[in-house]
């Protein structure tokens, strides 16, 4: 009888490297959601018409994206901001799949980009902001 053993190769990553990676993820999310919030605030009526959402929800989404971007950039309450973005992006992906019947690929108007943002937000929600925050 053969016994299979699992060999696990792992290594320790220095805390500074982990913090740099988390900072990069936070900056990417902050830039993306600042741009999205700016776009929505610039022409909220187009956002309402294009995405078929009520005006109060459109304002809520734009404000949530702006607050999350600020949280990601500063590192203050970034895990809560990440959790909020996860919820927001799950709803967006659901709209793409079930309401708009979008394809997967972003180049065809799909939800690939939204899934990526959801994943990055989940990383911050789970692991936190790292060492590089505005107020420690």
Examine residue 104 and state whether it is found in any structural domain, yes or no: yes
Examine residue 77 and state whether it is found in any structural domain, yes or no: yes
pLDDT of residue 11: 84
pLDDT of residue 91: 95
pLDDT of residue 3: 62
pLDDT of residue 135: 76
pLDDT of residue 8: 73
DSSP-H helix ranges across 1-136 = 15-42, 44-51, 55-74, 78-94, 112-127
Other CB atoms within 10 A of residue 135 CB = 7
Examine residue 5 and state whether it is found in any structural domain, yes or no: no
Examine residue 132 and state whether it is found in any structural domain, yes or no: no
pLDDT of residue 1: 58
pLDDT of residue 93: 96
pTM for this entry: 0.88
Beta-carbon contacts of 64 under 8 Å, excluding residues fewer than 6 positions away, are 84, 88
Query: Range of 39's domain?
Result: 15-127
Number of domains in the chain: 1
- The encoded tokens of residue 98 equal 């079930």
Examine residue 6 and state whether it is found in any structural domain, yes or no: no
Examine residue 2 and state whether it is found in any structural domain, yes or no: no
- Give the pLDDT means over successive 10-residue stretches in the chain (136 positions): 68 93 98 97 94 94 97 95 98 94 92 96 97 84
């Amino acid at each position: 009888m053969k016994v299979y053993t699992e060999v696990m190769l792992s290594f320790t990553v220095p805390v500074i490297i982990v913090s740099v990676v988390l900072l990069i993820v936070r900056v990417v999310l902050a830039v993306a959601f600042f741009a999205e919030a700016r776009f929505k605030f610039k022409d909220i009526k187009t956002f309402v018409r294009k995405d078929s959402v009520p005006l109060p929800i459109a304002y809520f989404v734009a404000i949530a994206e702006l607050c999350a971007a600020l949280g990601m950039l500063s590192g203050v309450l970034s895990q809560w901001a990440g959790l909020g973005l996860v919820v927001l992006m799950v709803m967006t992906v659901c709209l793409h799949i079930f309401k708009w019947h979008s394809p997967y690929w972003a180049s065809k108007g799909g939800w690939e980009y939204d899934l990526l943002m959801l994943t990055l937000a989940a990383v911050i929600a789970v692991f936190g902001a790292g060492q590089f925050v505005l107020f420690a």
